[in-house]
Amino acid sequence: MAAKEAGRPSASRKASTSRGESRSRAKRSGPETATAPTRVTLSTLTPAPGSTQARKRVGRGPGSGLGKTSGKGNKGHKARTGGGTNPGFEGGQMPLYRRLPKRGFTNPFRVETQVVNLTDLKKVSAGDISPETLYSAGLIAKPDSKVKLLGTGEADRSYTVRGVALSASARAKIEAAGGKIEA
């Protein structure tokens, strides 16, 4: 009877094998786990070794190392729930952002426009100038926001301009080179 039980794990041994224990066994790297999976799938992905840490469980008794005051020291404002100050707090002294005078004005209706000069149009291979062609040539960052063409430089060929605002000098130079401006 004892020989049969020696080969079989006991009930207490089965109970101690938990999910956390099997994970730690799977994370070990050694000669027996050196074979890597051939295909990467969602079921074979694991975090890099050392990248994950156990959650800090505070206030769970003195044996944990974070019992009693839960790592917050003794009393005081910062030991309380929600304790702490705002970024500009200077210990009760009038903070700098309130001591300095308010200056200037920010226009809430300001419209940001992307600026392109006539000299930059050499990078566009097509004769058609629109926000999409300027975006594909790398001259603007966002094709869906406003673009304005300025008159710095010369128009090297005739362009057809669509959907782009122009300065007066840019308009004159494009029309002088034989280009068209469409609304």
Give me the residue label for tokens 């917050």.
72
pLDDT of residue 4: 52
pLDDT confidence of residue 118: 94
Q: Please give the pLDDT value at position 36.
A: 60
Question: Which of the residues in the chain have pLDDT under 50?
Answer: 12-18, 21
CB 111 within 8 A of CB 105: no
Specify the pLDDT at position 127.
Answer: 87
- What pLDDT was estimated at residue 17? 47
- CA-to-CA distance for 146 and 163, rounded, in angstroms? 9
pLDDT at 41: 93
Q: pLDDT at position 164, please? A: 95
* Chain Cα centroid distance, residue 97: 29
pLDDT number for residue 13 = 47
- In the sheet that holds 147-150, the strands lie side by side as 114-117, 147-150, 165-166
pLDDT of residue 32: 59
